[in-house]
Structure 1
Amino acid sequence: MENILLAAGLGSRSEGKKLLLPYRGTSIVAKAVSASLEAGLYTIVVTGFRADEVCEQLKSLACPSLLVVHNPDYALGQGCSTQAGARHLHEGEPFFISLADMPLIGKEQYDWIAGNAHMDVVRPSFQGRFGHPVLLGPAFRQIILGEKLPFSMRSLLSKYPTQRLEVEDAAYVTDIDTLEAYEQLLTTGR
């Protein structure tokens, strides 16, 4: 399986710092990429804002299962970055879309979603709130590539039947959007 890992956004609510912040001996972005690789996923990291610094954080993870691509149009939003990653997916394979600012997602979360998937759109849900990673069937590569910009994945996926996987683990909805969220992560682990 494959994973488009989005690491392109401006991170404006964290002063553009969130992906580069230290976490458990590495950075937030390197932790997310490492977890994807540990799950056995061919990982396509899409960079944008601060791309050189993000790439520097990923140097030690270089391997045949990791592809880093740059989206020069990252300011057009998440849909544009998702398309940039989708261009590098292999046809006919299901794939995840995940976010680089979710350091609590690990191999076990990817494995659990993959092991419980029964539809072409599978989303974890914690206390009624959709989270990540999202698992999509092979047909969604072309659907994403054919979508007119700008678009959000939330609006795109709302058009399709979705398997909602209820989870009891807040990791699926814990993202580091602000410096306050980062401080809470360091203090509580959540």
Structure 2
Amino acid sequence: MQRLVLATRNAHKVVELRAILGDAGLGGDRIELVGADAYPGVPDVKETGVTFAENALLKARALARATGLPAVADDSGLCVDVLGGAPGIFSARWAGRHGDDRANLELLLAQLADIDDRHRGAHFACAAALALPDGTEHVVEGRLTGTLRHAPAGSGGFGYDPILQPDGERRTCAELTPDEKNAISHRGRAFRALAPLVRDLLPGGGA
């Protein structure tokens, strides 16, 4: 069985990515998907890139080098039209401390408090990267467009999910079921596009 390492210690992302890749035909008895926590000695990677694609490749490349195994990673965030695309790559630390979802969300809502609905367009963006120990690398991108609510709604998902209402939906991402969200999400789209490359390049990845 070929092991594929997901370059994240975010437990929510591990569950989500495992489901997405599993639905895309990866996993089962051919490919074992594990999170970075399976390798506690691997240091965290500084996200020094200026795009989602650069940061995703940095993480996948570092984990592949450290473990000697194929690795996939993503970098994703919320891009708000009226803020010129911010928080963007700073989404996870918008309030100053990395991974404080509540503080990030509250700060963004405060910044947009006086913005009318017609100007609250935004999208989630995701870059998904695959890195192999031999130096082979690929990156693909996906996005989910929508409108930002004035207050959070829903208890599912994570990050900014409670305030983004996808186009054509009356619910926020946090009100969707995991399967509904994965079917339309930026991360789902990016990793489904990456899945054929993983199947083609990994031993045991094919049918």
Q: TM-score range by the shorter chain?
A: 0.3 to 0.5
Q: TM-score scaled by structure 1? A: 0.33
Give the structure with higher Rg (CA).
2
Q: TM-score scaled by structure 2? A: 0.31
- Which structure ranks higher in relative contact order (CA pairs < 8 Å, sequence separation ≥ 6)? 1
